[in-house]
Amino acid sequence: MSTETTDRSVRLHRILRAPPERVYRAFLEPEAIAKWNAPHGFTARVHEVDARVGGGYRMSFINFATGTRHDFGGEYRELVPGRRIVVSDRFDDPALGGEITLTVTLEPVSCGTALHILQEGLPDVIPLDLCTLGWQESLTLLAYLVEPEIPDGG
């Protein structure tokens, strides 16, 4: 996995041994999001998902050690099944103000999917290295979810 941080943005790239359609679903289905999206030490609670352009989502990350909760949501701006997701993010806490844009690009490759993530407009209060680390942890969990080939009934 490669990562790059610049100017309040984080870029990540990872190859997953799963088809693009499965990876795409993992970004939009509430149960999947709750399973992989929170970084280590946090749980995720998905309150709502309306996965259509103009629709939105609401969720929370909860610090398991302290119980501190960060609520946020956003709007789906672009959805190209199996290929691309663009979504806005905004924390409810004004100290974490500003709009974040997340662009997820999926590209089929010989062994599965090349996943490209660009997260732009991160608030100054969020250290870019911690954001990158959180994404790396979450993407490991994403791989655990999407890569297994489990036959029906298994």
Q: How many other CB atoms are found less than 10 A from the CB of residue 121?
A: 15
pLDDT of residue 154 exceeding 80: no
DSSP 111: T
Mind listing the pLDDT tens digit for each residue in 32-48? 999 999 989 999 999 99
- pLDDT confidence of residue 98: 83
Higher pLDDT residue, 75 or 5? 75
Q: Which amino acid is at 77?
A: R
pLDDT of residue 117 exceeding 60: yes
- pLDDT confidence of residue 94: 83
- pLDDT confidence of residue 107: 98
Mean of the per-residue pLDDT values for the chain?
93
**CA separation (Å) from 4 to 9, 11, 28, 60, 122?**
8, 5, 25, 26, 14
Domains of the chain: 2-39+80-146 (3.30.530.20)
pLDDT of residue 4 exceeding 80: no
- pLDDT confidence of residue 96: 80
**CA separation (Å) from 96 to 45, 100, 101?**
19, 10, 14
Contacts of 110 (CB under 8 A, 6+ apart): none
| Mean pLDDT across 126-154 | 91
Mind listing the pLDDT tens digit for each residue in 52-98? 999 999 999 999 999 999 999 999 999 999 999 999 999 998 888 78
Higher pLDDT residue, 14 or 95? 14
- pLDDT confidence of residue 1: 59
Short-list 115, 107, 84, CA closest to 2: 115
